[in-house]
């Protein structure tokens, strides 16, 4: 870390390590042990990619808030010690520190100014939020970011509240802290309005490069316990790499041609959540991602991976095959197809102090997916313990069938110190 | 004589007839008056309920600390909340303790109730009847004005025993009339003259008695009488007792931006300071 990053980290520590009676501070400590079963995915035969099979992780999250110059300074710092065990590398413990949030915020009448790093959530979706265009917070496999991986965005935000509405103007340049420079100017806005029973937001961003995105999200309440929500975002550009499906995949090892499409993308999410009479909470969402691979593109991608597998198994161009698989794996990111369905069931006290959560994410293009079950015991005053089980399913050539890990079990403890 | 007698008899019968007609008319009038009295009593019932509500939520804007005490695993547990109320229809409840819940928020705007979990950054729709802690429901802390959500009906006069004291009361039946209502049906005893709520029996739609609330302490606060303590008896959990106390009451305009969903992430830090 360079001087700038150290200075920022120290200012966060300064906010946090003030006398306790001046302001609230909270400390959370999370410990997790994870064991993964290997899966002979065609993307990772014999675990060639050296995926982790065991993980031990300790996370500490320090959060402080302090009155400064008539406003408030907020610091959320995260420290992480991670032990990873993979078959072809020596086990080692890695330490990492990060500034999740560090900002100053002040309210003057109906105006609020925010300066610093902050998580800014604009979307309303549970599993995924296309309109989270400032800070990307949601991920279907861990919507609640239980280990606090997500960092805030460096921004200056000016907000005005008027009646049931809120206007936000945001300047959020790409900051390269190590090089002490701004990489790209970016501007965002949101207009939010609440008209009972509807919340509606218009969002947009414009980048120095000329790329822009604009969208809308909203939620609607019906009856006593139903909420419906939706999001739509149009983005002028896409970063997705597509396989050149018109090429013969067997011609290439490492340099199979991937390309970016010079077209805009559409993302849509429609969903709802309902709390039943017996307090089960159910969330259902449908996601559409126009950046997803078409069937031809997917077939080309899979065919190329199969060709590399065959080369690897037959010992023909062994090294090149491994490099090709690594290259194919680097392209693999979720969601890679176009239609998805998400379901979550949650109940707080299924038995005394025991909560149950069940997540299911299904790719409708090939009916593969994964599911997660988490059981948490909350009966202790200052800590919770949980068991999290995750399993992907799908055939060898399906999107989630490519995931290299099979069954994954995690036990964890969440300690609250105040 | 006979004639005379007959005349007298006839006159007497005429008077009896007239008296009977009068009585009949009077009865009809009386019954008609009683029949017409029902809506009048209902109107009165609403006024009585509103007066009782004013002892629970005396000002349009105020904030207070709510302390919940209940027994959990054979020991007493205490939880703290800061409650902000505006215009009688908007409530923000910030969870201060236990530490696990700190920063979580409960937002009620109109008839809609949301629970915001700080770590998930997403408000979740919940029902007011869901259990907050001990024998208290979310709606018990988020909604102090029953007159907004219920239709009151005058039942009669009946004393209510609270502790060792018996209070002469007006008994009302409250029937839920909005989705903001926490309970389906309430029998409420309101002290005559003072209009303090003294006791409430809470029923499920099935007719099952689930809770009894005793309004146990009233104090003159900032010049107005205010209910400062409620005792919940949970009939679904071995009649366990939960006490809800209200302290540190401050009357001042509560900012409107406390009741916007977009502000919840900021408020979860701001209001627990």
> What are the contacts of A189-193 at 24+ separation with CB within 8 A?
A190/A122, A190/A166, A191/A165, A191/A166, A191/A167, A192/A165, A192/A166, A192/A167, A192/A168, A192/B260, A192/B262, A193/A164, A193/A165, A193/A166
Measured between alpha carbons, how far is A122 from A134 in angstroms, rounded to an integer?
Answer: 8
- Tally A–B CB contacts below 8 A: 90
Q: What is the CATH classification number for the domain harbouring A158?
A: 2.40.160.10
A379 neighbourhood in chain B, CB within 8 Å? 73
User: A120, A153 in Cβ contact below 8 A?
Assistant: yes
CA distance B94 to B117: 11
- B38-65, pLDDT tens digit by residue? 444 555 899 999 999 999 999 999 999 9
Closest CA to A418 of A23, A14, A15, A73: A23
On chain A, the residues whose CB falls within 8 A of the CB of B119 are: 144-146
- Nearest-angstrom CA–CA distance, B21 and B123: 69
Q: Which alpha helices (H) appear in B109-159, and where do they start and end?
A: 138-142
Helix (H) or strand (E) holding A307: helix A295-313
- Range A13-23 burial, b when 16+ CB lie within 10 A, else e: eebbeeeeeeb
Q: What pLDDT does B18 receive? A: 57
Q: Which fold has domain B55-270?
A: outer membrane lipoprotein receptor (LolB), chain A (2.50.20)
Q: Which residue of B has its CA nearest to A128?
A: B122
Angle, helices A295-313 vs A318-331, to 10°: value is 150
A126 and B122 within 8 Å at the Cβ level: the answer is yes
Our separate counts of H helices and E strands in chain A read: 3, 22
Instruction: Judge if pTM exceeds 0.80.
Output: yes
Angle, vertex CA A242, rays to CA A240 and CA A243, nearest 5: 155
Distance CA A402, CA A22 (A): 52
Is-cis flag, bond preceding A75, omega within 30? no
Q: Which residue of B has its CA nearest to A163?
A: B256
> Tokens representing A269?
């999410």
As for the ipTM of the complex, it is 0.81
| Contact status, residue B197 vs residue B171, Cβ threshold 8 Å | no
For residues A166 and A112, give the distance between their C-alpha atoms in angstroms, rounded to a whole number: 10
Task: Provide the greatest CA pair distance for chain A.
Answer: 72
Residue matched to tokens 């907000």: A159
Contact assessment for residue A25 and residue A74, using Cβ atoms and an 8 Å cutoff: no
**Residue A379 and residue B73: Cβ atoms within 8 Å?**
yes
Number of domains in chain A: 1
- Which tokens go with B50? 């509103």
Give the C-alpha separation, B273 to B266, whole Å.
11
Contacts of B97 in chain A (CB under 8 A): 418
* Helix H or strand E encompassing A217: strand A212-222
Residue closest to A290 by CA, chosen among A304, A310, A269, A315: A269
Would you call B121 and A226 a contact, using CB atoms and an 8 Å cutoff?
Answer: no
Nearest CA-CA distance, residue A6 and chain B, Å: 25
Strands (DSSP E) found in A110-211: 111-118, 153-162, 165-171, 174-176, 181-184, 186-195, 198-207
The answer to whether the Cβ–Cβ distance between B260 and A273 falls below 8 Å is: no
Q: How far is B229 from chain A (nearest CA, A)?
A: 25
Q: How many angstroms from the chain centroid is the CA of residue B242?
A: 17
pLDDT digits (tens, 9 = 90+) for B105-143: 999 998 888 999 988 788 888 889 888 888 999 999 999
Q: How do strand A54-68 and strand B61-72 relate by DSSP bridges? A: unpaired
- Nearest residue, CB atoms, A273 vs list B124, B261, B270: B124
- Which residue is listed with tokens 């949030």? A101
Based on C-alpha coordinates, what's the Rg of chain B?
26
C-beta atoms of A164 and B260 within 8 A = yes
Chain A residues within an 8 Å CB radius of B270 = 72
Which residue among B102, B125, B179 places its CB closest to the CB of A273?
B125
B-chain residues near A72 (CB < 8 A): 269-270, 273
Q: Which residue of B has its CA nearest to A108?
A: B255
166-205 of B, contacting A, C-beta below 8 A? 179
Asked if A119 lies within 8 A of B265 by C-beta distance, the reply is yes
Q: With contact defined as beta carbons under 8 Å apart, do A203 and A166 qualify?
A: no
Of residues B102, B112, B256, nearest to A26 (C-beta): B102
Domain around A218 = 3-417
Joined tokens for residue A92: 């080692």
Beta strand A258-259 pairing with A212-222: unpaired
The token pair that represents A285 in the structure block = 């969402």
The CA distance from A217 to A125, in Å, is 9
Compute the distance between CA of residue A256 and CA of residue A109 in angstroms, rounded to an integer.
58
- From the list A105, A124, A137, the residue facing B266 with the nearest CB is A105
pLDDT (tens place) for every residue of chain A, 418 residues total = 455 556 666 666 655 555 544 445 789 999 999 999 888 888 888 888 888 889 999 999 999 888 888 899 999 999 999 999 888 877 778 899 999 999 999 999 889 999 999 999 999 999 999 999 999 887 888 888 999 999 999 999 999 998 889 999 999 998 887 777 788 899 999 999 998 889 999 999 999 999 999 999 999 988 878 999 999 999 998 888 888 877 776 676 666 778 888 889 999 999 999 988 888 999 999 999 999 999 999 998 898 888 888 888 887 777 888 888 888 888 888 889 999 999 999 998 899 889 999 999 999 999 999 999 999 999 888 899 999 999 999 998 999 999 888 899 999 999 998 7
> Which residue in A121, A137, A279 is closest to B130 by CB distance?
A279
Query: A110 to chain B: nearest residue by CA?
Result: B257
For residue range B26-40, what is the model confidence (pLDDT) as tens digits? 544 444 444 443 444
pLDDT on residue B213: 96
Of A24, A192, A417, the CB nearest to B262: A192
User: CA nearest B95: which of B82, B78, B77, B113?
Assistant: B82
Q: Would you call A225 and B99 a contact, using CB atoms and an 8 Å cutoff?
A: no
* Cα Rg, chain A, nearest whole Å: 23
Tell me whether residues A416 and B99 touch, CB distance under 8 A.
yes
A6: which residues sit within 8 A by CB, 6+ positions away? Answer: none
What SS3 class is residue A333? coil
Q: Following DSSP, what letter does each residue of B44-60 receive, concatenated?
A: HHHHHHHHHHHHHS-SS
Select from B107, B93, B85, B103 the least CA-distant residue to B268.
B103
- Cα A121 to Cα A127: distance, rounded to the nearest angstrom: 13
Nearest to B98 among A110, A281, A381 (CB): A381
How remote is the C-alpha of A171 from its chain's centroid? 22
Task: Give every CB contact of residue A132 below 8 A, 6+ residues apart in sequence.
Answer: A121, A122, A123, A138
DSSP A196: T
Tokens of A264: 């805009």
Q: Is A367 left (phi over 0), alpha (psi -120 to 50) or beta?
A: left
Cβ–Cβ contact B236 with A under 8 A: no
A124 CB neighbours in chain B (<8 A) are 122
Contact flag B120-A23 (C-beta cutoff 8 Å): no
Per-residue model confidence (pLDDT) at position B22: 53
Cβ atoms of A42 and A305 closer than 8 Å:
yes
Residue of B nearest to A64 (CA): B269
Chain A residues closer than 8 Å to B122 by CB: 121, 124, 126
């Amino acid at each position: 870390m360079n001087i700038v990053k150290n200075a920022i980290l120290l200012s966060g520590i300064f906010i946090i390590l003030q006398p306790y009676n001046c302001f609230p501070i909270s400390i959370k400590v999370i410990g997790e042990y994870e064991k993964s079963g290997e899966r002979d995915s065609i993307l990772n035969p014999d675990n060639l990619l050296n995926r982790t099979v065991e993980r031990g992780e300790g996370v500490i999250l320090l959060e402080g808030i302090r009155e400064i110059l008539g406003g408030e300074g907020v610091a959320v710092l995260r420290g992480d010690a991670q032990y990873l065990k993979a078959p072809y590398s020596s086990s080692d413990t890695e330490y990492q520190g990060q500034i999740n949030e560090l900002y100053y915020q002040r309210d003057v009448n109906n105006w609020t100014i925010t300066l610093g790093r902050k998580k800014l959530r604009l979307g309303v979706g549970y599993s995924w939020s296309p309109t989270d265009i400032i800070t990307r917070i949601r991920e279907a496999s861990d919507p609640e970011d239980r280990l606090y991986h997500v960092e805030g965005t460096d921004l200056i935000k000016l907000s005005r509240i008027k009646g049931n509405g809120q206007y936000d103007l945001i300047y959020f340049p790409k900051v390269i802290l190590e090089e002490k420079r701004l990489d790209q100017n970016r501007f965002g806005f949101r207009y939010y309005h609440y008209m009972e029973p509807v919340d509606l937001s218009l969002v947009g961003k414009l980048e120095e490069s000329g790329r822009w995105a604009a969208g809308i999200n909203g939620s609607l309440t019906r009856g006593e316990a139903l909420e419906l929500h939706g999001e739509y975002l149009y983005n002028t550009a896409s970063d997705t790499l597509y396989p050149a499906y018109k090429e013969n995949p067997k011609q290439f090892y490492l340099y199979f041609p991937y390309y970016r499409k010079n077209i805009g993308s559409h993302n849509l999410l429609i969903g709802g959540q309902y709390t039943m009479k017996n307090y089960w909470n159910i969330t259902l969402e449908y996601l559409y991602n126009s950046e997803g691979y078409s069937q031809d593109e997917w077939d080309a991608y899979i065919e190329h991976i199969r060709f590399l597998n065959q080369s690897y198994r037959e010992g023909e161009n062994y090294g090149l095959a491994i490099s090709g698989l690594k290259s194919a794996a680097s392209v693999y990111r979720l969601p890679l197809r176009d239609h998805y369905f998400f379901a979550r069931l949650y109940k707080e006290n299924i038995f005394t102090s025991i909560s149950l959560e069940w997540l299911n994410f299904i790719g409708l293009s090939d009916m593969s997916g994964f599911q997660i079950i988490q059981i948490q015991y909350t009966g202790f005053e200052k800590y919770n313990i949980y068991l999290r089980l995750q399993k992907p399913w799908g055939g060898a050539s399906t999107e989630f069938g490519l995931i290299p890990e099979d069954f994954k079990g995690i036990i964890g403890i969440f300690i609250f110190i105040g | 004589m006979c004639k005379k007698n007959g005349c007298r008899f006839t006159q007497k019968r005429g008077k009896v007839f007239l008296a009977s007609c009068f009585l009949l008319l009077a009865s009809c009038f009386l019954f008609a008056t009683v029949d017409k009295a029902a809506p009048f009593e209902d109107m009165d019932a609403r006024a009585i309920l509103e007066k009782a509500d004013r002892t629970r939520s005396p000002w349009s804007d105020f904030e207070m600390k709510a302390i919940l005490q209940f027994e959990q695993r054979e020991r007493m547990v205490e939880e703290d909340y800061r409650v902000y109320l505006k215009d009688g229809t908007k409530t923000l409840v910030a969870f201060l303790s236990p530490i696990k819940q700190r920063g979580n928020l409960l937002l009620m705007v109109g008839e809609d109730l949301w629970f915001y979990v700080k770590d998930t950054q997403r408000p979740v729709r919940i029902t007011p009847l869901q259990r907050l802690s001990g024998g208290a429901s979310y709606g018990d802390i988020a909604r102090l004005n029953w007159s907004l959500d219920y239709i009151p009906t005058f039942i009669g006069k009946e004393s209510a025993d609270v502790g060792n004291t018996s209070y002469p009361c007006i008994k009302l039946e409250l029937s839920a009339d909005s989705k903001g209502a926490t309970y389906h049906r309430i029998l409420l005893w309101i002290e005559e003259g003072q209009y303090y709520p003294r006791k409430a029996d809470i029923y499920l739609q099935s007719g099952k008695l689930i809770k009894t609330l005793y309004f146990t302490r009233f104090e003159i606060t900032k010049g107005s009488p205010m209910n400062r303590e409620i005792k919940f008896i949970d009939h679904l959990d071995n009649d366990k007792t939960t006490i809800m106390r209200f302290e540190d009451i401050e009357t001042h305009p509560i900012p409107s931006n406390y009741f916007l969903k977009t502000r919840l992430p900021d408020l979860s830090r701001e209001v627990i300071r």
